[in-house]
Amino acid sequence: MELTTQELAAKEPAENGRPAETPRFWQQQVGSRTARGRVRLRTLSNLRWLAIAGQSIALFLVYFGFGYHLPLVKCIAAIATSAFLNLALTLRYPAAHRLTSRDATIYLGYDILQLAALLYLTGGISNPFALMFIAPVVIAAGTLDLGNTLMLAALAFLSICAIAVWHAPLPWSPSEHMELPPLYQAGIWSSLVIGIGFTSIYAWRIASENARMSAGLAATQLALEREHRLSAIGALATAAAHELGTPLGTIAVVARELERALPQGSPEYDDARLLREQAERCRAILTKLSRPEEAMLDEAQRLPLGALLDDIAAPYRGEDVEIAIELSEDNPPPEPQVWRVPELMHGLGNIIENAADFARTKVSVHLRWDENWLRVSVEDDGPGFSPEIFERIGEPYTTSRPGHHAVAETEIAPEDDLAKHEGMGLGFFIAKTLIERMGGSLTAGNLESGGARVSAVWPRGAIDGEAPVRLGSP
């Protein structure tokens, strides 16, 4: 069993043991938030200005302050080239211009080559500032996709290898000769390579996790906003039915009196009868809109817990799967009265919907409570959670669907790739987020007899208090 979101128009199929489908609307919305490589030019430009300032200070301090010999003109030319390039880009593009992943890779690749050129002129990896190779790679790991990050890491690695073999002498006092032992230089080379590898992998993993979490929270907010809109529509329909009922009743009464006053068979009599029939038809439609079950869409409504779960489960009952609401005999009276809020409806709706999708014949919803706690457990007789994703349940974008492994395990897909994916593994994350933000907790596991169990637990005061707990409430 895997948890999914409720689709307004249609419910997309899901695969056993894998996260179910996420609506395409959400894919487009979330995809735009998770695309990597869209870093602002100003951000990289400011970092380059900072690097240029640091390189200039170090260069003049060594040459004029310490009096060490180095190829000053060539070093100044390398620094000036970066300055002119940065100035040209600043003048060419607006401050808010965002670089594509390709452009950002070229930008950072130049920084690596410029640093390699400076280090070649000033001692190679023996120069203490060789550590700065880490900076462009770490920036790439935090902003670009995995492929471009690996390209820049490879470029940094090749640059380190090149200046380890070919380089000018390390700037030093003219009266002394400074030459590090080969073994020590090998240690420096190893530390640079390991440092670049470790820091870049760490930065990339952290950035990917943050991006996935942000995207999942954005999808949660979209789901909640949709539920609020549905609630508002239901409340509006109920209000419309109430307000229009009286004038339509008046029209029907007047039309009926005209029927009595007019001779049968006359055109006027037929018109009055038609008017009365259409008024009664409108009243019948409004009566359906104002039925109690439809009026439940009002957010302020409080219902018994069993009635609320029965209401949530109603859309997912079919001929093939039975959904049973079971109250424990040990529950102390009275039955909790809970608020019918979109957060609760959507969170529990996700759980029940997916249990029905993966169940073979039956879904059992067990309700238990005491003076302090309230528990809702949804069990099905399906295949249960697949082992490959069981340890990552609750994380956004967890999926084992073929063709989506890279998205689940390593990275957030770019915007153009997200549009092609149909399963994004957001359902359980959304349900978990909504329930936890209402003061509850969500756990999942497999039954020994087969099937899956998802349990939601709340403190009594969080769900059946005098006022509903809403998303974001303390």
User: Looking at residue 176, what DSSP letter applies?
Assistant: S
C-alpha 195/C-alpha 189 separation (Å) is 10
Residues near 311 by Cβ (< 8 Å), separated by ≥ 6? 293, 296, 303, 340
Q: For residue 58, give the 3-state DSSP assignment.
A: helix
pLDDT at position 115: 92
Q: Does domain 302-463 have CATH number 3.30.565.10?
A: yes
Reading the block at residue 373, the tokens are 């706690």
Element (H, E) at 323: strand 322-327
Tell me which residue of 1, 20, 12 sits closest to 423, measured CA to CA.
20
Reading the block at residue 445, the tokens are 């596991």
Q: For residue 178, give the 3-state DSSP assignment.
A: coil
Reading the block at residue 59, the tokens are 């260069």
Q: How far is CA 157 from the centre of its chain?
A: 34
Backbone angles phi, psi at 5, to 5 degrees: -95, 160
Tell me which residue of 286, 259, 253, 284 sits closest to 271, measured CA to CA.
259
pLDDT (tens digit, 0 to 9) for every residue of the chain, 474 residues total?
433 333 333 333 333 333 333 333 333 333 433 445 567 888 888 889 999 999 999 999 988 888 888 899 999 999 999 999 999 988 888 877 888 888 888 999 999 999 999 999 998 888 888 888 888 888 888 888 888 888 998 999 999 999 988 988 888 877 777 778 888 888 889 888 888 888 888 888 777 777 666 666 666 666 666 656 656 655 666 666 667 777 887 888 888 888 888 888 888 888 888 888 888 888 777 776 655 444 444 444 778 888 888 888 888 887 788 899 998 888 888 888 888 777 788 788 888 888 888 888 899 999 999 888 899 999 998 888 877 766 666 665 554 433 343 333 333 333 333 333 333 356 677 778 778 877 888 888 888 888 888 899 988 877 776 655 554 443
Which residues is 453 bridged to in the sheet? 379, 445
Backbone angles phi, psi at 371, to 5 degrees: -70, -20
C-alpha 12/C-alpha 25 separation (Å) is 13
pLDDT at position 289: 61
pLDDT at position 407: 35
pLDDT at position 427: 67
Contact 14, 21 (CB under 8 A): yes
Contact 262, 325 (CB under 8 A): no
Please say whether the dihedral angle defined by the alpha carbons of residues 462, 463, 467 and 470, taken in this order, is positive or negative. positive
Helices (H) and strands (E) in the chain, counts: 16, 7
pLDDT at position 114: 93
C-alpha 292/C-alpha 416 separation (Å) is 45
Reading the block at residue 351, the tokens are 């759980």
C-alpha 410/C-alpha 457 separation (Å) is 32
Alpha helices per DSSP H over 317-448 = 342-358, 387-390, 405-409, 415-418, 427-437
Contact 425, 399 (CB under 8 A): yes
C-alpha 282/C-alpha 264 separation (Å) is 24
pLDDT at position 112: 92
At 85, the amino acid letter reads L
Contact 305, 348 (CB under 8 A): no
Q: Locate tokens 């080379």: which residue?
A: 189
pLDDT at position 401: 39
> What's the pTM value of the predicted model, to 2 decimals?
0.48
pLDDT at position 26: 35
Q: In what order do the strands lie in the sheet with 362-369?
A: 322-327, 362-369, 373-380, 452-459, 441-446
C-alpha 308/C-alpha 296 separation (Å) is 10
pLDDT at position 300: 47
Backbone angles phi, psi at 206, to 5 degrees: -65, -45
Alpha helices per DSSP H over 93-181 = 101-121, 134-143, 146-165
C-alpha 69/C-alpha 173 separation (Å) is 7
pLDDT at position 41: 85
Reading the block at residue 330, the tokens are 């040990």
C-alpha 9/C-alpha 27 separation (Å) is 16
Tell me which residue of 130, 127, 129 sits closest to 172, measured CA to CA.
127
